Amino acid sequence: MKPIMLQGHERSITQIKFNREGDLLFSASKDPKPNVWYSINGERLGSYDGHSGTVWCIDVKWDSSLFISGSADQTMRIWDVETGTSNTTLEMKTSVRGVSFSYSGTMIAYTTDKMMGHNSELNIIDVREPNNVDSTPIMKTQVTPTYTKALSVLWGPLDEYVVTGHEDGSIIKWDMRTGKEVGQEHSKQIKDMQLSHDGMMLITASKDTTARLWDISNLEAMKMYKTDRPVNSAAISPLVDTYPHVVMGGGQEAMDVTTTSSRIGKFDARFFHLVFEEEFARVKGHFGPINSICFHPNGRGYASGGEDGYVRVHVFDDAYYQFKFDF
């Protein structure tokens, strides 16, 4: 299982994302240019040029026609995936920390940072006409000062509600019609949230060295995967019926990395059994913490992006499919 190394970023990766079919892999980093790659051979298709600051978050529409990126230059851009042109640039008061297309692709939820006297907000805009987007949100919620700032955002099933992950570790579900609903706690900052393939489960990765699996309908914590270091990203296998696996990536804080060797820093991707919460495999590779990790939509591989600026695309070999838990 020799991974494909994607070298296209000058600074550390912030988020990577496959499109729905899994033939394209989008990557964003702390340099201002998100890239798109062919996941089969690691060839770079192109980059999306226009931001002037760190790109914190990206998402791609289900039909791979539009791509959105939220940046520290206080803009959110909507791009044409095929041509790389920027359809719309939406100006914000602070940097954009989380973006997410709704399931149907007609709306975008995004969260903004709390800084310079402005509060963190959760906004939802209508993007049915990508070249003529009305920047007035159809729903607008102040996140701070009631809660801490929202770092990530996801849509629940049928676009009925939005889930946000926060700096203090709370998870809040916002009803699309009424506003606030329920909150749950990790103990430290939530770095990443990802849905399962069917949209019924949610996995959160936290600085408190755990990843947790939630039932999205009632935000009940179902499982907890414990490690010995901060978890920056976690993903659920799409083949969850036959291969109930979870992959997690993390490592020490980037600022402590220089003081340890890569062997001690533990920058491996870890595989856990979804039900038994037991670790059964590790994959080494990165020279710094893994910042973003995701399964290929067909479940036959995964990709990880690290603080070292590389994206590594792995394809599972036969041993992965033959491995069975004894129970």
Q: For 43-85, what is each residue's pLDDT tens digit? A: 999 999 989 999 999 999 999 999 999 999 999 999 999 999 9
To the nearest 10°, report the CA torsion of 70, 128, 81, 79.
-40
Distance CA 245, CA 274 (A): 5
Give 158's pLDDT tier (boundaries 50, 70, 90).
confident
For the ranges 75-89, 262-276, 283-297, which has the lowest average pLDDT?
262-276
Bridge partners of 291? none
CA-based R_g, the chain, Å: 18
Distance CA 59, CA 76 (A): 11
- Whether 34 and 55 have beta carbons less than 8 Å apart is answered as yes
Q: In what order do the strands lie in the sheet with 44-47?
A: 13-18, 24-29, 35-38, 44-47
List pLDDT tens digits, range 165-199: 888 888 888 888 777 777 677 778 899 999 999 88
Token duo for residue 154: 């996801």
Buried b (16+ CB within 10 A) or exposed e, 72-98: bbbbbbbbebeebebbbebebebbbbb
